[in-house]
Structure 1
Amino acid sequence: MEKKKRIIMLLAIDIFLISTAFLVSFYLRFDMNIPWNIMQLYIDNIFAITLIKILVFAYFGIYNSLWRYASIDELMQVIVAVILANAGMISYLYVMNIHFPRSIYLLVAILDIMYIGGVRFSYRFLRKMKNEKLFNSEKRKRIMVIGAGDAGAMVIKEFKNHTELMSNPVVLIDDDVSKEGRKIHGVPVKGQRYDIKGQAIKNNIDEIVIAMPSSTKAEIKEIIEECKTTKCKVKTLPGMFELIDGKVSVKQLREVEISDLLGRDEVTLDCMKINDYINGKKILITGGGGSIGSELCRQIAKFKPKELIILDIYENNVYDLQN
């Protein structure tokens, strides 16, 4: 129901703006002295002109976009829709043998882009101002984002769009020195990985988010080791292969896991082949009473060998393990 109300409201606004663009174009072209025959032509065809434009706008989905997240893609969507809508209008007028001064068509197209796009982006601007006011008035977690690439930019954008998360990204860290001093969505890049502790103290950071999905396990491990020198909570994005089918989102942030500290990719065992190799065989484990040997014994026992022989220089460990 809410969606229908929003679409009806946008339709009503667009119908008004389409007519306004034509009237303003007439005033600009004829310097406030609009010939009656020109105005009569427009009045006679106002329904058809408006309908053509609304149908093209609907076809290009500008009534389905979430304008609170409007970006360059939505702007291009509006521009293409307006150009084709005006092309459709001109085709209709040509078929009906109706002619306006050529400058009117250009002025109308420019004003359509300004009005149709302006209304939608003003909504995003007002929402952003409201969010920034909330950011400044409420106590929020101060976030450090490590990685000033596409993933880092998306994480910052997600935090700013979701005020309910009570999180405010305040500083970026990246090893690319050319990015230092620059800003992403208003958040400055202030140093490299070895500046993490200093920047965390300087900016009163509560939480660190590692946004480097394409980095190797070894690189992530080094970053985590640096983060451990602070008292901040550390979260990370999944790896690139886990993100390949989806957009980067704050919902995908997770706590640092043991696998992140390996410094290498996890080894996946082929249990079928191991079973074929061990099942029903006699197995001898040398050093079987030690920490590594005893764990080998436990794991191998799961595959049901015919006999498991444990050999160790220290008899007590073997005895305990056997029991």
Structure 2
Amino acid sequence: MINNPKTALAIAHDVVACGVAWVLAYLLRFNLDLDHPYFSGAWTTLPWVIPTQAAVFLAFGLYRGIWRYASLPDLKRILLAAAVATMATALVLRLFYVSSVVPRSVFILDPILLVMLMGGSRLAYRLWKERRWVALNALDAQPVLVLGAGDAGASLVKALASSAEWRVVGLLDDDPHKHGRHVHGRPVLGSIEALPRYAARYDVKHAIVALPSASHAVRRRAVEVATRAGLRALTVPSFEDLVSGRVTVSSIRQVELDDLLGRDPVVLDMAGLQHWLTGRTVLVTGAGGSIGAELCRQIARFAPAKLVLLEQSEFALYQMEQEFSQRFERLPTACLIGDVKNRQRVEQILHEHRPDVVFHAAAYKHVPLMEDANAWEAVQNNVLGTLVVAEACRDRGVGKFVFISTDKAVNPVNVMGATKRLAEMVCQALQEGSCPPAARAHTKAATQFVMVRFGNVLGSAGSVIPKFKEQIARGGPVTVTHPEITRYFMSIPEACQLVLQAGLMGKGGEIFVLDMGEPVKIVDLARDLIRLSGFTEDEIKIEFTGLRPGEKLFEEPLADDETTLPTPHPKLRIARARSVDPGWLDELRVWLMSAPVPLSQLRPELSRWVPEYRPNGEEAGSGAVNRALA
């Protein structure tokens, strides 16, 4: 039963098309000679032809689609249905001994005419509806120029053809062979450098950068040309997002700082990660932080048997619980409140959930905040917390423990960096000591301790980027500590992907360092953000406030050839770190469990434990623990 009048109308149209195509096939066969003796066969066979072909069309589901969105798949379906309908017609006429003689050429002409009538009608209807829709939308749509006339640019022009928000007036591309040609009816006007001229000609205020597969240098130049011309730069999703199907090319967004600091995509050993994580129980500490949260998202892609999220902040854990209940509703998760320094809580969690892999991301990371009044808390959380979780993992036979470190652990000059280096030494010592005899009875194999160092990540909690955005939103000024201060940056997803890759590659005891690329001046980041926000430096001022406590002017490179060894992965190297004697762990544990150490004593004590630590440029300390370092 047909309830939709539009469907009934479509069926009626095709029934008429069947009759018209059949009669036209006869007319063409006999050169439009209506008096030809065989032409009468067209009318006598028509009562058999129409029901047969209509039944075939219904069987092929030609009326499930909407004419306004008719496309190539619909045309393929019509082609197949017309061919089958013609064969079915010949079979029916044969079976029922219809007396009229049907010329063989009619059976050839009929499907061709059917496809032309049925397909042409649908195409004409779509064109009529789209032109009418575009004409209405064009009244309010904003003119826009597309930078890039490749596959992404072509897809974008097609996707925006019916947009009520944007009206593409042309494309710009640096390939001279494309100039003067048309992409879906829109002209390729010239090169990207000619953007200011065409923007003025067409009164354009926005430019969309459609170069997802180009190098970041090319994309950055396109954005700079747009901002210099006074245009608001927008962009399409990255090539990786488009290929994965997570978004479409029409998902236009504002250009972010990640786009300007873009790096080559990370190549992961997907098969290896699948084998390592799929069907395993994985625990992430600090799961509500920037790195911990992204690690959880990345791990979820590999369908672990269970993902355990351990976090001290109730609100951060609540946010993660809400996100995962929507995005990964089929993934078994456990959202647990707990302090990594609480040995009983940590052991309870490991006993109950029995993780195969642990990623330890819980840490205090803000350098100035941890430098003075909170220094002992940094030691407790970063060192004691790591010791508690790592020892519990060793005692419970966890397969692999991945510790998230920092570039500030390289020859540290601040408390935070020294605590992270000391936490690395804890993991090294536990690896050297393997599992104690008392634990071997219930331990399947020695835990592999893997450490990963990297620098600043864009957009993480406490980083300069959110702070700059807030300052710009308030109208400025944007505060930078020093005009020459330089840092290494990567995006949070890239850092977490490389952490997973390092965790897979690690065999125990390695300190992996990530290739952070080229250093970036913080003041240049501030200028980029001001431009991307649509302002000039005259409107939003930049002020220099001076270096903060514990802050370096330059971070030391992580991955140079003198201090690291190569690995099979181009973005991962292994640090040439000192080996550590596990014998000093008992002495360290006593110190960590002691009463809070006054700040005046804390830095000298840290210098004893971490000889490379030079607070405020002082010479490194020496003492009994130096015997721990070879």
TM-score interval, smaller chain? 0.7 to 0.9
- Separation in structure 2 between the aligned mates of residue 310 and residue 266 of structure 1, nearest angstrom: 36
1:47 to 47, 51, 54: 51
1:82 partnered with 2:212: no
C-alpha change, 1:247 and 1:129, in structure 2 (3 Å) is: farther
Match of 2:152 in 1: 151
Match of 1:246 in 2: 245
- Separation in structure 1 between the aligned mates of residue 403 and residue 102 of structure 2, nearest angstrom: 80
Q: Mean Cα displacement is larger for which, 74-83 or 218-227?
A: 74-83
Q: Mean Cα displacement is larger for which, 88-97 or 5-14?
A: 88-97
Query: Which runs of 5 or more residues in structure 1 are unaligned?
Result: 294-303, 315-323
Match of 1:7 in 2: 7
C-alpha change, 1:262 and 1:310, in structure 2 (3 Å) is: same
1:312 partnered with 2:314: no
Match of 1:20 in 2: 20
Equivalent runs, 1:235-314 vs 2, <5 Å: 235-246=234-245, 249=248, 251-265=250-264, 271=361, 272-275=402-405, 278-279=422-423, 288-291=550-553, 307=606, 311-312=615-616
Contact map agreement 2:236 2:250 (CA 8 A) in 1: no
Match of 2:347 in 1: none
- Separation in structure 2 between the aligned mates of residue 29 and residue 265 of structure 1, nearest angstrom: 63
- Separation in structure 2 between the aligned mates of residue 292 and residue 266 of structure 1, nearest angstrom: 26
Identity of aligned residues (%): 27
TM-score, scaled to structure 2: 0.42
- Separation in structure 2 between the aligned mates of residue 96 and residue 156 of structure 1, nearest angstrom: 54
Match of 2:141 in 1: 140
C-alpha change, 1:67 and 1:50, in structure 2 (3 Å) is: closer
Contact map agreement 1:145 1:211 (CA 8 A) in 2: yes
Contact map agreement 2:157 2:184 (CA 8 A) in 1: yes
- Separation in structure 2 between the aligned mates of residue 310 and residue 259 of structure 1, nearest angstrom: 33
Equivalent AA in structure 2 for residue 22 of structure 1: W
Contact map agreement 1:174 1:189 (CA 8 A) in 2: yes
C-alpha change, 1:211 and 1:4, in structure 2 (3 Å) is: farther
Match of 2:563 in 1: none
1:230 partnered with 2:492: no
- Separation in structure 1 between the aligned mates of residue 246 and residue 184 of structure 2, nearest angstrom: 18
1:140 Cα deviation from its structure 2 partner: 2.4
Report the secondary structure of 2:403's partner residue.
helix
Equivalent AA in structure 2 for residue 13 of structure 1: H
Contact map agreement 1:183 1:189 (CA 8 A) in 2: yes
Contact map agreement 2:143 2:168 (CA 8 A) in 1: yes
Report the secondary structure of 1:252's partner residue.
coil
1:38 Cα deviation from its structure 2 partner: 5.1
1:228 Cα deviation from its structure 2 partner: 1.3
Equivalent AA in structure 1 for residue 182 of structure 2: K
Moved over 6 A (4+): 266-270
Higher relative contact order (CA 8 A, sep 6+): 1
- Separation in structure 2 between the aligned mates of residue 38 and residue 69 of structure 1, nearest angstrom: 34
Contact map agreement 1:153 1:184 (CA 8 A) in 2: yes
- Separation in structure 2 between the aligned mates of residue 280 and residue 72 of structure 1, nearest angstrom: 59
- Separation in structure 1 between the aligned mates of residue 121 and residue 246 of structure 2, nearest angstrom: 27
C-alpha change, 1:185 and 1:35, in structure 2 (3 Å) is: closer
Match of 2:203 in 1: 204
Report the secondary structure of 1:235's partner residue.
strand
1:5 Cα deviation from its structure 2 partner: 4.0
Cα distance per residue 1:24-65 (max 9 Å; x no partner): 334444522365555223325542343234424x2xxx4344
Cα distance per residue 1:143-201 (max 9 Å; x no partner): 11111112111111111123x32x11001011111101001111111112222222222
1:241 Cα deviation from its structure 2 partner: 0.9
| Structure 1 vs Structure 2 CA RMSD | 3.5
Query: Which runs of 5 or more residues in structure 2 are unaligned?
Result: 267-290, 296-358, 362-401, 406-419, 427-548, 556-591, 593-601, 608-612, 619-630
